Chains A and B, each alone.
Chain A
Amino acid sequence: MSEAEDRLRLFKKGDAIEVPFTKVESELRALWRHAAEGKPGEPRRPVTRACLWNLIVAVDTQALVEMKALTDHVGRQFPARTILVGPIETHPGEDEGEIYSFVQAHWRAGEAHATGSEQVTLLSTGAAATRLPSLVRSLLVPDAPTAMLWLDTPTHESAVRELTFEVDRLIIDSRSLEREADLDQYDLLSVHSPSLEFADLAWIGISPMRSLAAALFDPPHDPAQLDQLTRVRVTSGIAGTQARALLMLGWLADRLGWHNLRRQKGSAIARRWTATRRHGGEVQVELQTELGGASHGVTGLLLEKESDRWSLRRDTGAIDVTAPGLPMRSQPARSHTNAELVVAALGARGRDPSYREGLRKAIEFLQAHS
């Protein structure tokens, strides 16, 4: 088997092939063409090269394997030109550095023909990292929107940070922050790029809870009751960074116009605040940690107005919903994989203008003084 045939075999299998970084486009063109030609004597098998998005994925040495597995899943579900990009560990003597590039296809086989999208991996050593953004720019498919998946904290030092100012949508995951205080890194980015859409996997993950909470006050139920809440409690089923619970609180605070947040005395498992409601009066707010049940970032929401109580309670497979005057009901709730959340982030759910305000309010909770 010739080298060209071997590369084509790998491409058709969906395996990665190393190519010179200056020839990524031409190599891809050739591979697609050969994939459509088939073997000599066999009929041509049409292939469709599909791309709805450019998806730039920031990686580093530690996350490379994990991110590769994630994008392999996403690529099979959603046609995008995926570009994994980032520095890898530099060996002594590599001051100048190198860029290594690989291409592969994600295939979706159809009856009459195959549809595929492509993934490009660009890894750099040493100072070559500074050249990565320019290389990524040259590889973007024109006229397709561009998203960037950056699951780490977006630090200033990162070689790919400058790309965040050129993309349409930034997909982040505040669940993975080492410190809750780093939520303000996203806020900083949002200040610098007012038109950038943020799709936080943590935010998308709590959308079933937000949706069910909203449904409690849909017509004919009176949403004005939301302005009379006296107590709100969000329960988190995990310890450590409680980004989802904070975002849930931030969302409620923003949508309900709470202001003047004050920290109250609490404990390690129950953080407490007081806020002033939109039309006056106070609401007591609590973030409670309750381990041992469903290990989800938001396992419960309790809203109280005098003797009326609305609650959402999540166990491993369902969310139980109770509201005044209605029978208790259960809604299925399952945890989504990161790949599913990323696919959702590339769809309409990744465009939620209320996220920025919810994020800001979540940060206000963190920074509130007594």
Chain B
Amino acid sequence: MSDPVENPLREGLARERVPQPCTMIIFGASGDLTKRKLVPALYSLGRDRLLPSAFSVIGVARRDIGDEAFRQSMRESCDKFARRRPVEEALWKTFSDGLFYCNGTFESPDTYTKLKKQLDELDEKRGTRGNRVFYLSTPPNEYPAIISMLGQAGLINRDGDTPFTRVIVEKPFGRDLQSARSLNRTVHDSLRENQTYRIDHYLGKETVQNILVFRFANGIWEPLWNSKYVDHVQLTVAEAIGVEGRGGYFESAGIVRDMVQNHMFQFFCLMAMEPPVAFEAEAVRDEKLKVLRALRLLPSDPKLVAQNVVRGQYSAGAVGGETRMSYRQEKGVAPDSNIETYVAMRLFIDNWRWAGVPFYLRAGKALPKRVTEIAIHFKRAPHAIFPSAAAEIERQPNVLTIRIQPDEGIALNFFSKVPGPTTDVLPVPMEFRYGTSFGAEPPEAYERLLLDCMLGDGTLFTRGDEVEASWTFIDQIEKAWAQSPPTDFPNYASGTWGPDAAEQMLQRDGRAWRRL
């Protein structure tokens, strides 16, 4: 077969990748994610001329409303949440002409029969050519039924890519290794792995993607990126908010399942992985998987686990000057809940590059401020030739900080001589900040990820074996904790940096958490 003819008008234009015409079907269309993120992201893509020339959206949900009411509701969402506001009337007219609604329960075959009919009509009327992206924005327990029903209704083209069928699955993908494996089996009964897009919106953030650019587009860092020069690495995901009305959900998850297994492990992998052979889905995901597989397993004794993993739960306190109730007082939370809202852990990657380098991860709610960052602490100079500055140099080594949010950017701390007759030194930061360096406003994470899925690019999505590898590690923690329930919860006050045991974990290694 001859290669398709290239579009000669494309050369030199900013966008190189163009999605094919398609319809996106959102299950859970009346939910918060659809209103706050998905439809506003699609509208913004339209605003930036990044949607396919023929495009439709069908919202599927139980509520009995029609197309017009759905459009009205989505208009209100875009008015509130779209990145570019106010909504432009001419664009909205075009965009909303492609919005449709299909009501029905996710368990009923009738819903899928109706949906199939609607899709066929839209293909005819709007030129979407049978290409479909299904977005499962529903509670996770609905995923198996929806995926099976889609298969049974003939809505999945498993055999080829013309027309294409892709399914985006929201996190959490399972709640332990067993459930993740079971869900993977259900998915693979109906879909090929490369039709499955497990979304983690952290990977859509510009700064997370920039970890790869920073590491692999610059020649100067890679020689330093190993155990010879790196003393240790700290990863922090701190949130100032509590569970904010999501107490019911959080009771079944905890911070490890909610934050560490997915978001945090993803950027941990990007930070630690070997260079992929190309910026392509399989190459990048292969390298991430190798990191997860090289994670040193925790000891089986819960007491020894506690030396490497610290859990916490917030009590009442004040964050940013505002009083905050304790976790156990939150709506939907049991008054004697033992669910963790904070975790700190010490990990080792047993491979050639990182042998002996501790990675300290911490994630928590009701902490003093919202910060997500990776800090690479380099080893000290091997010999101190400035005696008057030795203490200062000992106290604050060179640190490279990749700030993911807020104030996205990168900073390198190094020592400089203080002007004057003595050889005093002070650490000074060399900073790059997205906000001040680039005039352009970065797109929302969901914009990038929805576009990538329409383009069939899975690089920024998680593969099934990655998910299972991360659950393999997390399961050890959950198992140890189940054997040894906490006796000191709540053990940190809202507005502080977590329990004392987290500080002590680093102190035992002669280190300290960064003060952020």
Q: Say whether B11 contacts A327, CB under 8 Å.
A: no
Q: A355 vs B13: C-alpha distance in the bound complex, in angstroms?
A: 11
Q: Contact flags (1/0) for B423-453 with A, using CB distance below 8 Å?
A: 0000000010101111110000000000000
Q: Say whether A115 contacts B18, CB under 8 Å.
A: no
Q: Given the interface contacts A115-B433, A327-B97, does A214 sit within 8 Å of B54 by beta carbon? A: no
Q: A64 vs B143: C-alpha distance in the bound complex, in angstroms?
A: 64
Q: Given the interface contacts A211-B14, A211-B15, A221-B53, does A110 sit within 8 Å of B435 by beta carbon? A: yes
Q: Say whether A115 contacts B5, CB under 8 Å.
A: no
Q: Which of B125, B129, B431 has the most CB of A within 10 A?
A: B431
Chain B residues with CB under 8 A of A217: 7, 9
A343 contacts partner chain B, Cβ-Cβ < 8 Å: yes
A213 contacts partner chain B, Cβ-Cβ < 8 Å: yes
**Which residues of chain A from 199 to 218 have any CB-CB distance to chain B below 8 Å in the complex?**
207-208, 210-218
Q: Contact flags (1/0) for A36-55 with B, using CB distance below 8 Å?
A: 00000000000010101000
Quote the shortest CB–CB distance from A215 to chain B (angstroms): 6
B49 contacts partner chain A, Cβ-Cβ < 8 Å: yes
Q: Say whether A255 contacts B127, CB under 8 Å.
A: no
Partner of A354, one of B11, B21, B94: B11
Q: Say whether B21 contacts A110, CB under 8 Å.
A: no
Chain B residues with CB under 8 A of A223: 5-9
Q: A219 vs B431: C-alpha distance in the bound complex, in angstroms?
A: 42
Partner of B9, one of A226, A321, A325, A329: A226
Closest B residue, CB atoms, query A351: B12
B496 contacts partner chain A, Cβ-Cβ < 8 Å: no
Chain A residues with CB under 8 A of B433: 110, 115
Chain B residues with CB under 8 A of A327: 54, 97, 125-127
Q: Say whether B9 contacts A355, CB under 8 Å.
A: no
Q: A317 vs B126: C-alpha distance in the bound complex, in angstroms?
A: 24
Chain A residues with CB under 8 A of B46: 331
Q: Contact flags (1/0) for A328-358 with B, using CB distance below 8 Å?
A: 0111100000000001000111001111000
Q: Say whether B9 contacts A317, CB under 8 Å.
A: no
A77 contacts partner chain B, Cβ-Cβ < 8 Å: yes
Closest A residue, CB atoms, query B93: A330
Q: Say whether A224 contacts B53, CB under 8 Å.
A: no
Chain A residues with CB under 8 A of B4: 219
Q: Is the interface of A mostly helix, strand, loop or mixed?
A: mixed
Q: A209 vs B306: C-alpha distance in the bound complex, in angstroms?
A: 61
Q: Say whether B436 contacts A79, CB under 8 Å.
A: yes
Chain B residues with CB under 8 A of A353: 11-12
Chain A residues with CB under 8 A of B407: 110-111
Closest A residue, CB atoms, query B406: A111
Q: Is the interface of B mostly helix, strand, loop or mixed?
A: loop
A318 contacts partner chain B, Cβ-Cβ < 8 Å: yes
Chain A residues with CB under 8 A of B440: 347
Closest A residue, CB atoms, query B95: A329
Partner of B49, one of A50, A79, A208: A208
A135 contacts partner chain B, Cβ-Cβ < 8 Å: no
A157 contacts partner chain B, Cβ-Cβ < 8 Å: no
Q: Say whether A355 contacts B12, CB under 8 Å.
A: yes
Q: A348 vs B97: C-alpha distance in the bound complex, in angstroms?
A: 33
Q: Say whether B436 contacts A50, CB under 8 Å.
A: yes
Q: Contact flags (1/0) for B63-101 with A, using CB distance below 8 Å?
A: 000000000000000000000000011110110010000
B10 contacts partner chain A, Cβ-Cβ < 8 Å: yes
A365 contacts partner chain B, Cβ-Cβ < 8 Å: no
Chain B residues with CB under 8 A of A226: 7-9
Quote the shortest CB–CB distance from B123 to chain A (angstroms): 12
B20 contacts partner chain A, Cβ-Cβ < 8 Å: yes
Closest A residue, CB atoms, query B87: A332
Q: A353 vs B7: C-alpha distance in the bound complex, in angstroms?
A: 16
Q: A131 vs B20: C-alpha distance in the bound complex, in angstroms?
A: 57
Partner of A349, one of B7, B14, B18: B14
Q: A349 vs B436: C-alpha distance in the bound complex, in angstroms?
A: 19
Chain B residues with CB under 8 A of A257: 8
Chain A residues with CB under 8 A of B97: 327, 329
Partner of A222, one of B5, B15, B20, B93: B5
A271 contacts partner chain B, Cβ-Cβ < 8 Å: no
Partner of B8, one of A111, A212, A221, A256: A256
Q: Say whether A220 contacts B435, CB under 8 Å.
A: no
Partner of B129, one of A50, A213, A220, A321: A220
B47 contacts partner chain A, Cβ-Cβ < 8 Å: yes
Q: Say whether A224 contacts B5, CB under 8 Å.
A: yes
Chain A residues with CB under 8 A of B8: 223, 226, 255-257
Q: Say whether A332 contacts B12, CB under 8 Å.
A: no
Partner of A332, one of B91, B431, B439: B91
Q: Say whether A218 contacts B127, CB under 8 Å.
A: no
Q: Contact flags (1/0) for A104-118 with B, using CB distance below 8 Å?
A: 000010110001000
Q: Given the interface contacts A48-B431, A219-B18, does A347 sit within 8 Å of B439 by beta carbon? A: yes
A78 contacts partner chain B, Cβ-Cβ < 8 Å: yes
Chain B residues with CB under 8 A of A221: 53
A326 contacts partner chain B, Cβ-Cβ < 8 Å: yes
Q: Say whether B91 contacts A318, CB under 8 Å.
A: yes
Partner of A218, one of B11, B53, B93, B125: B53
Q: Given the interface contacts A219-B4, A318-B91, does A354 sit within 8 Å of B439 by beta carbon? A: no
**Which residues of chain B from 7 to 43 have any CB-CB distance to chain A below 8 Å in the complex?**
7-15, 18, 20-21
**Which residues of chain B from 437 to 487 have any CB-CB distance to chain A below 8 Å in the complex?**
437-440
Q: Contact flags (1/0) for A20-60 with B, using CB distance below 8 Å?
A: 00000000000000000000000000001010100000000
**With A317-B88, A321-B53 already in contact, 5 other A-B pairs whose C-beta atoms are closer than 8 Å:** A115-B436, A207-B14, A211-B49, A226-B7, A329-B94
24 A-B pairs whose Cβ atoms sit less than 8 Å apart in the complex: A52-B437, A79-B436, A110-B433, A110-B436, A111-B407, A207-B13, A211-B14, A214-B13, A215-B49, A217-B7, A218-B10, A218-B18, A219-B4, A223-B5, A317-B88, A317-B90, A330-B90, A331-B46, A331-B49, A331-B90, A332-B47, A332-B90, A347-B439, A354-B11
Which residues of A are in contact with B by a Cβ distance under 8 Å?
48, 50, 52, 77-79, 108, 110-111, 115, 207-208, 210-224, 226, 252, 255-257, 317-318, 321, 323, 325-327, 329-332, 343, 347-349, 352-355
8 nearest A-B residue pairs (beta carbon) = A318-B90, A354-B12, A214-B9, A218-B18, A329-B94, A223-B7, A330-B90, A332-B88
